[in-house]
Amino acid sequence: MINAFWNSGAGISGGDQRAIQIFKRLENKLDIDFYTSADGKKIIKKEIPDANYILSPESFEKGNILLRYRRRSGWLNKELQNRKYDIIYSSSDFFPDVVPAFVYKKFHPQTRWIQCIFHLYPKWWKRPGSKIIALVGYLVQRYSFRKIKRSADRIVNINSDVKKFLESYGINGSTNKNSSHRYCKHRNLQQLQHPRTDKRRHH
């Protein structure tokens, strides 16, 4: 299961681009479900045509970003209630990528949660523009980090500075009691592949 691409419009994030590159190489070895938007499906399906796509309602694109995040998180929590996954891959540390994975992992501890973190939200008081928006973004990312610290099994990261910060934040195997975090490169994800199986349930 991959939780990715919540952006409306034609743009695509670096995390989503990496998810596409990883899983198009594993498409014939895994049963893949993408939870994404209609715009996300248009882009991802070009590279991974045989995946199963579960789309969020288009009405979720209305309103401010926090409202959209809340809608998507609530929707995805409900979608995941009766599904069984071996691996959950969150392509970013955005709220709707992290919280549903955290909740699912809580009730399915055997599932491996792979979390991508590629950037740090700048200190809100130094960020140009609205300080309120900057503060909210900063606090939301730190909230996500607390969830990741508690439950994620693997961290995908390509930035040494971000890795150093995360380790200082306690996201590493030596200090976390609930999960043994490992930092891995993209090619290492092939070690996690499972053969195709009929035990997975699709709805």
pTM of the model: 0.80
Interaxial angle between packed helices 131-151 and 160-169, expressed in degrees from 0 to 180 and rounded to the nearest 10: 70
144 in a domain, yes or no?
Answer: yes
- CATH number of the domain residue 12 falls in: 3.40.50.2000
Please give the residue that has the higher pLDDT: either 105 or 185.
105
Q: What local confidence, expressed as pLDDT, does residue 5 receive?
A: 56
The whole-angstrom separation of Cα 41 and Cα 150 is 30
Cβ atoms within 10 Å, residue 82: 8
- Give the structural domain span for 159: 2-192
Question: Is residue 199 domain-resident?
Answer: no
Q: Is residue 92 part of a domain?
A: yes
Number of domains the chain is built from: 1
Q: Within a domain: residue 28?
A: yes
* Cross-sheet strand order for the sheet of 2-3: 52-55, 33-36, 2-3, 87-90, 112-116, 154-156, 182-184
Per-residue pLDDT band at 182 (split at 50, 70, 90) = low
Q: 3-class DSSP state for residue 114? A: strand
Supply the mean pLDDT for the chain.
80
DSSP state of 18: H
Q: Residue 198 domain-assigned?
A: no
Answer positive or negative: Cα dihedral of 101, 105, 107, 111: positive
